[in-house]
Each structure stands twice: as C-alpha cells, then as structure tokens.
Amino acid sequence: MRKEIYVTRATLPPYEEYISEIRDIWDTHWLTNMGTKHNELEKQLCRRLDVPNISLFCNGHMALELVIQAFGLTGEVITTPYTFVSTTHAIVRNGLTPVFCDINPVDYTIDVTKIESLITEKTSAIIPVHVYGNVCDVDEIDRIAKKHNLKVIYDAAHAFGVEYMEKGIGNYGDASMFSFHATKVFNTIEGGAIAYKDESIGKKLYMLKNFGIKNEEEVIDVGANAKMNEFSATMGLCNLKHFDESIEKRKMIYEIYKSELDGILGISIPQPNANISKKNYSYYPILVNKAICGFDRDYLFEKLKENGIYARKYFYPLVTDYDCYRNRVNNNVTNANKIAENIITLPMHEYLTREDIIRICSVIKQ
C-alpha cells in the first residue's frame, strides 16, 4: 500500500521517557501554576536559546498577545502580512491598528527599506516575523526602532534554536515570541514563550498570564489565563533532550531536498541572511515560477496530492486577503501577494526517510 506523506508529524520523545518524567506529578499533585517542571523548563530554555530570561505560556499566540499588552503599545504597529494569522490577531485583539509592510523577495521577511515611510506619530512598535526561521534584518530594524523610539517584538514562532552572529535569535529586539505548538521544531504539545531583556517586563508577563493577580488580595492588571501546565512542561523537558538529534535529522532531509531540486528551472527557494550562524531547518518552502516551468503552484500541489503527498500552501491566502482583514489593507504588499500565490511548503519533519524525499522530488521533476 502507498504510504501517505504529510507536511508535518509532531515530534515525540520515547514513550518511557515521558512516563517516567511525569511520575513526579503524581507524587506532588501539582498540575499547573508555575510548578517544578515549568520552572525547570524555563531554566533549561534560557540556556538552550542563549537568552537572559524566558517566560512560558500556554501557547505562542497568548504569549504574543500578552507581551504586546505588557509593553503598553498604542496606536499603530508595523508588521508583515506574510505570516500566520496569529501575528495580526495578537495586534488587533490589543485594540491596535496593524500597518502592513511588504516583504523582500529574497528571504520573505519584512522589507526594511519600506518600514520608515510607514511610520506616523501613532506608531509605537514594529512586529516582524522570522518567517521559516529566516532571520529578519535585525540590525536595520534596530537602527530604525532606536531612531524613532519604537519597541520591537519579534514573532520568532518559526525560529526556535536559530542563532544569528553566534547569538540566540531571542536576544534581538525588546522581546521575542517562540511557539511550541505540536507542529513546530520543538513542542510542548501546545505552548509558547517570551524571551525578554527587561526584568520589569518579566514581572508584568508573570502577572498577565495569571489574571493580573499580584498577590492574594491584589489584582492590578486586566490579565488572562495563559499559564503552561506541568504535562506540557514535561513534554518540553523530554523533547529538549533530543532537540539536537531532531535538527540533525532535519538538516539531512534539507540537504537531500536541496541536492534533488537544485537546478530545476522554475523552482526556487528563499535565500536566508548569510549571518545566520545556526539554522533550524523548520520548513522547506519552494517558489513555483509558472513562466519558466509551465505549470503553477496549484497544479503542483494537486499532483503531489494525487501521489499521496500532502504539502501546504503556507502562507496562502495572505493575511490581508482574509475576510476579517480585507478592509484594513492600507498599503501595497506586492511581493507578499506574489509569493503567497506561488509558494508551497514541502513535507518537513524528522520522521521522513531518504526514500520519502526522493519520491516527493521525483513527482516534482515529473
């Protein structure tokens, strides 16, 4: 029987490891509210991500919503439309106006040459995305933010484990959000985190994820409930032990794809910033150029599907084309539109075999 190949498959640690690690939870009956596993995971993640501080959350989206609240942003926020809808939702659900800036056609991150023209007296922050683990032009974004006194919060949901100029990616900007959703390179089933510098932001985040409660008798902020529970934290501790192996496997897969697909006319991949010192091989996006190869992205998507290969049009449609945002678009996002129309992300997870990749590539070549 033909084996179906899906775009992703959640990473799981060996069953026995998880079972033995959750034993403690039965001893203590401590299931959530910043327990031992939670605190241990925060500590280990600071080391792993090479960042000074980490605050854990029930998912990446709530982490982003609450860090925006913690910084007290106002008015307009410059962001990218080429992302998962969560980025825009987090801005809008804070009562802020997203101002969409186009992306560059090289690595699909925010086009830094277009940011300054979008800044008004209402702008309070820039929220760029390290899309596919490709690092934004963090130096130029830093320069612009300093010049105009803006906060920078990175959506680093795709960038767990990535390093830029030999430093953890979470060190850039005022804060970075990581997602630990099941489909990401590192998962806690559902989960997320904020890496941050400023201790006072850490205190705010701690309260905001627990209803704004300061102590038994004081509630000082309109918070939410966004705490990470002990079972998720345990999954994180177990997966973290195997993270280096996961990346090694992904790297092998990435290289097989690259050698199989390099030189096929009309198929190209984004070119990440050369200063990335560690990649995470989180996705394998390819751009289909119909004018050269004679067929379009949707045709390739269907052909793969007919062959039991389930790729993903990621990101399509563009955020600015969803019903809830269609009327808000204020700028020209030509590059983002063009890439969304022609992009396809191929299956990428650590359980793929060499044979799987060869099969996928042979369908593309055909």
Ligand X SMILES: *Cc1c(COP(=O)(O)O)cnc(C)c1O
Q: Give Cα separations from 305 to 39, 235, 343 (angstroms).
A: 43, 32, 15
Nearer to ligand X, 71 or 84 (CB): 84
What is the pairing mode between strands 267-268 and 284-288? antiparallel
Contact string 248-287 vs ligand X (x = CB under 6 A): ----------------------------------------
Contacts with ligand X: how many residues (CB under 6 A)? 14
84 scored as a contact of ligand X (CB under 6 A): yes
107 scored as a contact of ligand X (CB under 6 A): no
* Number of residue whose CB is nearest ligand X: 60
127 contacts 86 by C-beta, under 8 angstroms: no
Nearer to ligand X, 84 or 284 (CB): 84
87 scored as a contact of ligand X (CB under 6 A): yes
Rounded distance between C-alpha atoms, residue 294 and residue 364, angstroms: 12
Q: Which of 8, 69, 79, 83 binds ligand X (CB under 6 A)?
A: 83
181 scored as a contact of ligand X (CB under 6 A): yes
Rounded distance between C-alpha atoms, residue 53 and residue 175, angstroms: 10
Residue with tokens 């989206």: 61
Quickly list H helices, the chain: 15-28, 36-49, 60-70, 85-92, 138-148, 199-208, 230-241, 243-261, 290-293, 297-306, 334-342, 354-365
At closest approach, how far in Å is the CB of 191 from ligand X? 7
Rounded distance between C-alpha atoms, residue 127 and residue 175, angstroms: 10
Q: List binders of ligand X among 32-71 (CB under 6 A).
A: 59-61
At closest approach, how far in Å is the CB of 36 from ligand X? 23
Q: Which of 99, 115, 157, 175 binds ligand X (CB under 6 A)?
A: 157
Direct distance between the N- and C-terminal alpha carbons of the chain, in angstroms, rounded to an integer:
21
Q: List residues near ligand X by CB under 6 A.
A: 59-61, 83-84, 86-87, 129, 155, 157-158, 179, 181, 192
